[in-house]
Chains A and B, each alone.
Chain A
């Protein structure tokens, strides 16, 4: 027998102790981070007119985060791809706290394009006191080349749309599942 179980080298209990400490630390840190930690977002409410910028703010997490920050006292700069949707989102955000009188600005940009004028987007907002910058925009499928409003479609559906839109052979999407 290679290991004498009755006389283990001292390193083993020590390793066990370290592993246990590591696990306990993970659990304590989880409790600290999610339930005990003092509020930290208030650090960004400074200066005369603090702004939070949120990209992809017309739907989902972006729109919800915009509402949440607005009710917490942030002025907003929102980004979206569709002006109509943006106007509705701005109304919804303002309705979350109608008496606050906080400012809501927005800009429109198609994030999927290769020729976005980033400096041009930033220029009008240069003088503002932006203290939070939330890069939220994202999508796991293309947004600018298909002919239907994509955010309302799941990926499987999108794949079938793409297949129909392209000549077979060039546009076959092998990765799309059978359905």
Chain B
């Protein structure tokens, strides 16, 4: 990873969502005068655990998680607001960037999107829409940090192997 690599990944995952939300804020505020409006940030469990090789991505998600929470608070400093912000904690999902088989904890994107849309408007600030991701998250983040890092590292290794395997088959 060189500086250009890191900057690019930070631009994609931290800067773009932050700034594009900012650009749309005036119209979102106006629309929220007539009914509820929600800004959703698609995050990742990677923002909470130490998954290998993705520090710029994971760091961006951790930033977004905090930004989302504070933007929600900002809207309520001076008056009531119907503009809400929510951070979605996503686990593994089979997509174009993770082309490996589905499993109990790894739905395909259509299945995931159904749960995602159901989570909109829940009134929570951080949600984990997919039940199996929720269970994984609770177990992993409830552990002592050394054990958590150990398990996430082992998981990261096996994921990389699976990705390599599926690439060889293609």
Q: What 9 pairs across the A-B complex have the smallest Cβ distances?
A: A60-B95, A64-B113, A40-B121, A46-B35, A142-B8, A135-B17, A118-B23, A140-B57, A122-B23
B136 at the interface (CB under 8 A from A): no
11 further interface pairs, Cβ-Cβ under 8 Å (given A59-B97, A68-B113, A113-B11): A60-B97, A61-B93, A65-B117, A121-B20, A134-B40, A137-B12, A140-B9, A142-B8, A144-B8, A154-B97, A154-B167
In Å, the complex CA distance between A157 and B166 comes to 12
B163 A132 Cβ-Cβ under 8 A: no
A44 at the interface (CB under 8 A from B): yes
Given A40-B121, A139-B13, also A26-B110 (CB < 8 A): no
Given A64-B110, A112-B12, also A135-B42 (CB < 8 A): yes
Q: Is the interface of B mostly helix, strand, loop or mixed?
A: helix
Given A133-B40, A145-B8, A155-B53, also A140-B97 (CB < 8 A): yes
Residues of B within 8 A of A42 (CB): 121
In Å, the complex CA distance between A144 and B10 comes to 13
Instruction: Render A39-70 as a binary contact track against B, CB cut-off 8 A, 1 for contact.
Output: 11111101100000101000111011101110
Chain B residue with the shortest CB-CB distance to A162: B5
Is the interface on chain A under 10, 10 to 19, 20 to 34, or 35 or more residues?
A: 35 or more
Q: Which of A145-173 contact B (CB under 8 A)?
A: 145, 151-152, 154-157, 162, 170-171, 173
In Å, the complex CA distance between A60 and B90 comes to 13
Residues of B within 8 A of A33 (CB): 122, 124, 127, 134
B38 A133 Cβ-Cβ under 8 A: yes
A116 at the interface (CB under 8 A from B): yes
Is the interface on chain B under 10, 10 to 19, 20 to 34, or 35 or more residues?
A: 35 or more
Query: Can you list 13 pairs linking A and B with CB atoms under 8 Å apart?
Result: A26-B138, A61-B42, A63-B109, A64-B109, A133-B39, A134-B42, A135-B39, A138-B61, A140-B54, A142-B8, A155-B163, A157-B167, A175-B1
